[in-house]
Structures are given as C-alpha cells and as structure tokens.
Homo-oligomer: A and B are copies of this chain.
C-alpha cells in the first residue's frame, strides 16, 4: 500500500524542488493536506502566477514581473559601473553586502558549450549593446570563482575589449571569519600572492 494516487502525485511533484527527497516530499504533502490547506492553496496560486508573469528585465535580465526592474529604473545608481553576475541570487548577495552603487547584468548561468549554452543564451548580445551605449566605464566581472565562471569572465572581457571599458574581477583571498586551517590550497596560495602591506598606523 502507498497513499492514494492523487497524494502520490503530489509527493512526486514536490520532488522538483531542490534538496527534496522522497521523505521530505511526503512530509510536505502530509503537512499541506493535514494542517495547511489555506497556505497550500496560496502557494499553488502564487507559483502559477509567478511562473506566468515573471520574466527577464529588458535591461539587466534579472528576474522580475515588470518590463524593467526597480534597480534599472532607479535614478540613484551609478551608470558608469556595471556588475555582471551569473544569477539573481548572486546579485542579491552583492546588494545585501552593500557598497556597490552601479548597475547589474544577469547572465542566468555561464558559458557551457558542451551543454549548448553559448553567448546568446547568457545574453551577451544584450550586454554588448548595453556597453555600446557608452555610459559604462568599468565592467565588474562577478561570475563565480569556478572554472566555468572564470572562462565566462575571460570570454566576456575578450568580446567587449574593443569598447575600451575597464574590466575587473572580485578579489580572491581568505574569507573573513574563516580559519586558515580549513581554507583550500588554491585560495590560500592566491591570498599569499595577493598579500597586502600591513602597518600600525
């Protein structure tokens, strides 16, 4: 015996969510049916509406239900700085860290020729158009510090080189609050090579 067919379908459907295995999916289905029918109904409606209405910002390609996102609309950002990120979650992390006042461009992934992800799939035509407008002076290539992220950053820099903008990349080094013992060798040697003068002022 298992649950009834519709309940089994519900459990199965929950497995599209990241990190949700069979046990968690069953717990979610039981929780909604036993205790949270109102919340579940609302969840169903909001998922449908979001999937229907949320698309890419026409300017920066971040996820938004508006044609142009609030950050692109804002008059208080520095148009000479553009930060290129792989995902809206990366963009949010940078915004929450504070300090960056420029604009963003979201790739939704990185170049991956073997998976058929080429320059158009990550919006590089739109990015080149944007840089071609002439306002941008520096492009911060904030793709992930992974092999794919590095390769994507290199490709973008080479493609946009003729526009005469400056490129930068986030600094590598030891994470704050971490313990050296647990930092991987690659990061540690990068941090050593990039060591900074230190003095008591």
Contact = CB atoms under 8 A, between A and B. Distances in A.
Interface string A75-97: 00000000000011100100100
A32 B19 contact: no
Interface in A143-164: none
A98 B23 CA distance: 19
Interface of A: 1-7, 9-10, 13-14, 16-19, 24, 26-34, 36-37, 39-51, 53-54, 63-66, 69-71, 87-89, 92, 95, 108
A44 B87 CA distance: 24
Contact of A108 (B32, B34, B36, B44): B34
Given A13-B42, A16-B32, A17-B43, 20 more contacts: A1-B71, A2-B92, A3-B64, A4-B54, A4-B63, A4-B69, A6-B50, A7-B63, A10-B46, A10-B50, A13-B43, A17-B28, A19-B24, A30-B63, A30-B87, A30-B88, A30-B89, A37-B51, A41-B48, A44-B47
A39 B65 contact: no
8 contacts: A1-B71, A2-B92, A4-B63, A5-B65, A7-B64, A18-B27, A18-B28, A34-B108
Contacts of A42: 13, 16
B48 A6 contact: no
B16 A95 contact: no
A63 B9 CA distance: 13
A66 B65 CA distance: 39
